[in-house]
Chains A and B, each alone.
Chain A
Amino acid sequence: MAELRTVPDGPAAAPVVVPGGDRDSRFARRMIIAGASILSVVALVAVFAPLLSQWGETEIDAANTLVAPGGSHLLGTDGNGMDIWSRVLYAARLDLGIALAAVALAVVVGTLLGLVAGYFGGWLDDVLMRVVDIFQSFPTFILALAVAALLGNGTINLIITIAAVNAPAYARLVRAEVRSLRELPFVDAAITSGASPVGVLWRHLLPNSLTPVRVIAPLNCGWAMLTLAGLSFLGLGVSIPEAEWGAMISLGAADVVGGRWWTSVPPGLALFVCVLGFSLLGEGLQDRANAKRR
């Protein structure tokens, strides 16, 4: 059922006719709202972790190791006697922080490389794209493992690791976008009216080529978080006693066989919900972008 819909304000202020699109966009909107709500809650938890937990991030209750949930420990304690509930909350800081910083870094570096390669072309483009090819001829997690082993752990190194693995994809995306934008008349117009290459890149090509990046970035944040947790799980990421979901799961992995679920299930659940938030947001944005293109 085709229907004329008007959006009051925002980027798509013009009336758009979307065949059968009303339901579609309603679902997309719901996904965006659900994703954004989950992420807001996680962000609030990260900020207010001290207020929501009665134990410290690395505080040890030596008399109570591996106790089951209940009593003074809401979700029990791990083998070191640290409170699971408090640590699950505190971990949101490191997980969210590293994932966001890594994706931001990857976007900046990848976009710059893509802009330069796409605009100037030539040997620079060839070299950059061959490097991207080599990066992309490995499964990303394997690549992350190698770079993590190379740089060692520590927050900054993990951010660089995850950014390095992701940047090539952005470079390729932006390069393709710039190459098609370059052929458009408005770029020619800018050049003939005397704009410098940097001016053209910055004022005209950059804003326009960021559209696909905006859609991919949220999905990528979720992936970054899974990678971080996976690295920590294998001992190549954040290490105990710092609170990070993957490292907590790793510490509790051995307890599972004996049926002690509380050391590894809660941090994994938190990780899952947070990544789901990014996925919902990203999928909703993608739907919306597709609807606009049609």
Chain B
Amino acid sequence: MRIFRFVARRLLQLIPVLLGVVVLAFLLVRVLPGDPVRSILGQNATEEDAAAARARFGLDQSLWQQFLDYLGGLLTGDFGTSIQSGSSVGSEMALRVGPTLELVVISVTIALVVATLLGIWSAKRANRAGDHSVRIFALVGNSVPEFWLGLVLVLVGYSILGWFPAPNGRVDPDTGLTPLTGADLVDAVLTANGPAIASAAAYLVLPVLTLVVGVVAPLLRSVRASALEVLHSESYAAAKAHGLRDRTLHYGYLLRATLVRLPSLAALVFGTAIGSTVLVEYVYSWQGFGQWALRGLLYRDYPVVQASVLVIALCYVLVFLIADVVHAILDPRVRL
């Protein structure tokens, strides 16, 4: 019951934060240098053409009027119309969120598993060769530029070995995949399209690997640190002194206590991964949310930028909320 009250309170607290984000994003795009309609008009457009285009998108109205219109639209679930494409931002975004979420969720999940296993393994061997190599690996993962790693993986995996498809999309168009959610692997499984499953999986390998390397490093460091803390704690020493079996010590004491920290770490890393996808999608022509938002930013497509900022902020705060709830479930000491 307490958890429901906590969630309800946090959701209520979200409203002012998101309202702040809406205002900030609205103002941010309008102070950006550059004119959103110029880029769709071309070289020879006259001042009248520009004025007409501005009127079409309501950009000739007062700032207040524009803001109220935008806010009114948001309340009815309308994100506005893209200046570049002329189509609804909401439906465009719906096509883009799936692919990116697929990439991020798979990568973060793999990274969590790898980091937990390696981090605990490393902590148990603190300051020995195995531990040192894990730590160096984490430093390498922390230091490698993801977009460059992506290119190197393309070079090796596609250009040299030819094992993986070219970085030109998410699934082979010849497989005739019917899009449902936008997450191609999920769609392929749902429609039981065998060739599309294989193709979507093959396209996923390199971008997922790229993201995992970047994301696993901070997780690994934190898991190792919290496992070390548990190993040095009095409760663990007491349990060990009582002669508990290794299995019980490992699963009941070490693993459980280490995992308690994991949800909040995962949330943090989820945010980092969203930032990284902008670069990784660009390398692999993933055509996901990150590339869409970046294009919006570069072309000053106001409604697109506003919508993507809002969605990123919403994702971020929701993920942290979920993390807090999971933390509370895992750790009975936490009082919400």
Q: Report which A residues bind B (CB closer than 8 A).
A: 20, 23-24, 27, 134, 137-142, 145-146, 149-150, 152, 222, 226, 229-230, 233-236, 246, 249, 252-253, 256-259, 261, 264-265, 268, 271-272, 275-276, 278-280, 283
Stretch at the interface among B28-36, B95-103, B107-115, B237-245: B28-36
The interface residues of chain A lying within 8 Å CB-to-CB of B151 are: 249, 252-253, 256, 264-265, 268
What is the CA–CA distance of A31 and B31 in the complex, to the nearest angstrom? 45
The interface residues of chain B lying within 8 Å CB-to-CB of A20 are: 127
B154 is an interface residue with CB less than 8 A from chain A: yes
B40 is an interface residue with CB less than 8 A from chain A: no
With A149-B32, A256-B155 given, is the CB distance from A249 to B147 under 8 Å? yes
Quick one: which of B151, B154, B159, B276 has the most chain A CB within 10 A?
Answer: B151
User: Contact at B313–A276, with CB atoms within 8 Å?
Assistant: no
What is the CA–CA distance of A236 and B278 in the complex, to the nearest angstrom? 13
User: Contact at A253–B283, with CB atoms within 8 Å?
Assistant: yes
User: Contact at B127–A279, with CB atoms within 8 Å?
Assistant: no
User: Contact at A139–B316, with CB atoms within 8 Å?
Assistant: yes
What is the CA–CA distance of A268 and B149 in the complex, to the nearest angstrom? 8
Q: How far is the CB of B229 from chain A (nearest CB, A)?
A: 11
User: Contact at A279–B155, with CB atoms within 8 Å?
Assistant: no
User: Contact at A138–B127, with CB atoms within 8 Å?
Assistant: no
What is the CA–CA distance of A190 and B100 in the complex, to the nearest angstrom? 56
Interface membership of chain B positions 138-176, coded 1 if the CB is closer than 8 angstroms to chain A and 0 otherwise: 011011111111011011001110000011000000000
User: Contact at B143–A257, with CB atoms within 8 Å?
Assistant: no
User: Contact at B147–A259, with CB atoms within 8 Å?
Assistant: no
With A139-B271, A268-B152 given, is the CB distance from A145 to B145 under 8 Å? no
Quick one: which of B21, B294, B309 has the most chain A CB within 10 A?
Answer: B294
Q: Report which B residues bind A (CB closer than 8 A).
A: 17, 20-21, 24, 28, 31-33, 126-127, 132, 135, 139-140, 142-149, 151-152, 154-155, 158-160, 166-167, 271-272, 274-276, 278-279, 282-283, 294, 297-298, 309, 312-313, 316-317
User: Contact at B271–A258, with CB atoms within 8 Å?
Assistant: no
The interface residues of chain A lying within 8 Å CB-to-CB of B275 are: 139-142
The interface residues of chain A lying within 8 Å CB-to-CB of B155 are: 256, 259, 261, 265
B221, closest chain A residue (CB): A283
B308, closest chain A residue (CB): A142
With A259-B159, A276-B140 given, is the CB distance from A234 to B278 under 8 Å? yes
In the assembled complex, 28 residue pairs joining A and B whose CB atoms fall closer than 8 Å, in A order, are A20-B127, A24-B126, A27-B127, A134-B21, A137-B316, A137-B317, A142-B312, A146-B297, A149-B297, A150-B28, A150-B33, A152-B33, A222-B142, A229-B147, A230-B145, A230-B147, A249-B148, A249-B151, A253-B151, A259-B160, A265-B155, A268-B148, A268-B152, A271-B145, A276-B143, A278-B143, A279-B142, A280-B139
User: Contact at B32–A150, with CB atoms within 8 Å?
Assistant: yes
Q: How far is the CB of B116 from chain A (nearest CB, A)?
A: 21
User: Contact at A222–B274, with CB atoms within 8 Å?
Assistant: no
User: Contact at B276–A141, with CB atoms within 8 Å?
Assistant: yes
A19, closest chain B residue (CB): B232
With A140-B275, A226-B145 given, is the CB distance from A235 to B298 under 8 Å? yes
The interface residues of chain A lying within 8 Å CB-to-CB of B31 are: 150
User: Contact at A246–B143, with CB atoms within 8 Å?
Assistant: no
A151, closest chain B residue (CB): B33
User: Contact at B147–A257, with CB atoms within 8 Å?
Assistant: no
What is the CA–CA distance of A259 and B155 in the complex, to the nearest angstrom? 6
Q: How far is the CB of B125 from chain A (nearest CB, A)?
A: 12
User: Contact at A265–B159, with CB atoms within 8 Å?
Assistant: no
Closest 9 CB pairs of A and B: A141-B275, A268-B148, A139-B275, A275-B143, A276-B143, A259-B159, A139-B271, A23-B127, A279-B139
What is the CA–CA distance of A88 and B313 in the complex, to the nearest angstrom? 37
The interface residues of chain A lying within 8 Å CB-to-CB of B17 are: 134, 137
